[in-house]
Amino acid sequence: MAVISLQITRRSAVLDGRPFGAAGAYEKIMGMLHIGVDPVHRANQAITDLAAAPRNTAGLVECEADFYLLRPQDPARGNRRLLLDVPNRGRKVALGLLNSTPRVPDPATPEDFGNGFLMRWGYTVAWCGWQHDVPRRDGLMALTVPAVRSGNGPISGPVSCEWRPNARVETLRMADRYHIAQPTADLDDPAARLTVREHAGAPAGAIARTAWRFADASHVCLDGGFEAGKIYELVYRAEHPPLVGLGLLAVRDAAAWLRSASTADGNPSAGELERAYVLGVSQTGRFLRHFLYLGLNEDEAGRRVFDGAIAHVAGARRGEFNQRFGQPSLNATCSVGSLFPFTDTLEVDRVTGERGALLGRLEARGTLPKVVTTNTAAEYWRGDASLIHTDVEGTRDVAPHPQARLYLFAGSQHTPGTLPPPDAD
C-alpha cells in the first residue's frame, strides 16, 4: 500500500504570498506521512529484517515520517517537476545548495529562500524523514520505525561506536554526533571492549575493562577521560534492532505518492507532477548510491519512481542504511561504507571473485533513472572516489553507464567552510 495517509499539521503561504517570478507564490505544508509497507511484495524484498517486523491488521509494516513540502500555489505556473531532497542527518540541504541560503529547519524569511532558484523555476520541493536515530528537536526530520523481533526472544547483536574527541571529556554518548544511541543490553557486559589508537594508521590497543564503564545504557565513561585527538572504538551488545532499511522505502514511497496519489488520497500535489528527481549530499549521496544498488526505484505498483538522481560528494561509498543495528550517520573507518561494487557497470573483485554493478538491478528491471554523480577533490584525497570509474586494482579506467554522468569539482572541498571554524567533530 505504501503511503496510507498524510496528517497535515501546518499549511501556510510562503513569505505572505510574495511571488517568485513567473512561478508565482508558494505554499508550505508540514505534517506526518503514515506509511504501510507490504513485507511480502517483490519490490520490498531487499530490505533487511523486513519479514521479522511487526505487522498491523492489514499485514503491513508501518512507519511514520516527518514531511515538508514547498509547492506553487497555482500548479499551472509550476514546472510539474518534483525535487525530493533527502535530509542529511535530519537537515534540509537543497535550499542551501541551490538557493544559496543558510541551512534552516523551517525557511520563513526572504533570506531563507536566498536567490529563489528552485522556486523561480517552478519546482515542487519535498523532504521526508528517513533516519530512525535522528532526534526530533530543532526542526530535524526523522522516521519512526518498529523494532524487529524473533519468536524465540529479543534479537541481539554487536554495535560499534567510534569517536575522535576535540577536547578531553569524561563521558561519551554511544552514537554518532547528536543521534539517538542504541542502548547496551547489559551495563556489566564483560565481553564489551573499548580500544584506542594514536592515529588512523596505528594499531588499536585494548583498554582494561576495569578502567571504563557504562555510565548508563547510552553513555560510556573512561577513568582519566577520553583524550583529544585519539581514536576510540567501543563494541558492545544491543537488543531490539530498529528496522533501519525502512528509511529507503519511506523516501521511495513519499515520492511515488506525491507523483501518483489522488486528491481523495489526501495528496496536496495530486495531478501536478510529471517528473521526479532525488538529491542526496554527502551522507545522503551515499544513501542514494545504496538505494540505487538495491534496485529500489520501483514502487509497489511497478512504476518507476525517480526519473533522475543526483549524488553529490558521496565518493564511491554507501553506508549502514540497510543492516541490522545499522547507524546511518556513521562514516567511521570501521563502518561498512566501502561496499563492492563501486562502478555503475559490471566489475569483478579479483580477490573475492565477487561480481556486480551498482546500477545492475535497476537496469535489469527497466527502472534505471538518469544518474548524475558529482565529487570534489576531497573525496579523491579521501581515497575512494576514483573507484567509481576505475577497476578495483586501479589499473584501468571504467566508462560510466550510458545513463550516468560523472563530474569533478577540481581543487574544491567537501563542503564550504565557515568562519570562525566551528568546534565540532
- What's the pLDDT tens digit per position in 235-277? 999 999 999 999 999 999 999 999 999 999 999 999 999 999 9
Please check whether residue 243 is in contact with residue 50, taking contact to mean a CB–CB distance below 8 angstroms: yes
Using pLDDT thresholds of 50, 70 and 90, give the confidence band for residue 338. confident
Sign of CA dihedral 10, 63, 186, 171: negative
What CA–CA distance (Å, rounded) separates 179 from 363?
35
- How much is the pLDDT for 419? 72
Is 137 in the same domain as 197? no
- How much is the pLDDT for 383? 82
Task: Tell me the residue ranges of DSSP E strands in 86-192.
Answer: 124-128, 143-144, 156-163, 169-173
Q: For 275, phi and psi rounded to 5 degrees? A: -135, 155
The domain in which residue 37 lies consists of: 2-145+243-409
Using pLDDT thresholds of 50, 70 and 90, give the confidence band for residue 335. low
What CA–CA distance (Å, rounded) separates 362 from 304?
10
Is 167 in the same domain as 78? no
- How much is the pLDDT for 53? 97
Residue of 44, 79, 80, 76 whose CA lies nearest to 59: 44
The neighbouring-strand residues paired with 307 are: none
Domain boundary among 179, 207, 239: 239
Domain boundary among 212, 239, 266: 239
Q: For 139, phi and psi rounded to 5 degrees? A: 75, 10
Domain boundary among 195, 216, 239: 239
The set of cell numbers assigned to 97 is 545548495
pTM of the entire predicted model: 0.96
Would you mind telling me the total number of residues written for the chain in this entry?
Answer: 425
| Gyration radius from the chain CA atoms | 22
Is 7 in the same domain as 115? yes
Burial 156-195 (b: 16+ CB within 10 A, else e): beebbbbbebeeeeeebbbbbeebbbbbbbeeeeeebebe
Please check whether residue 134 is in contact with residue 179, taking contact to mean a CB–CB distance below 8 angstroms: yes
- How much is the pLDDT for 424? 55
Is 45 in the same domain as 93? yes
Residue of 28, 94, 14 whose CA lies nearest to 268: 28
Is 287 in the same domain as 404? yes
Is 187 in the same domain as 258? no
Is 45 in the same domain as 165? no
Residue of 124, 92, 97 whose CA lies nearest to 107: 92
Residue 100 lies in a domain: yes
Within 10 A of 357 (CB to CB), how many other CB atoms are there?
A: 18
Residue of 110, 83, 96 whose CA lies nearest to 19: 110
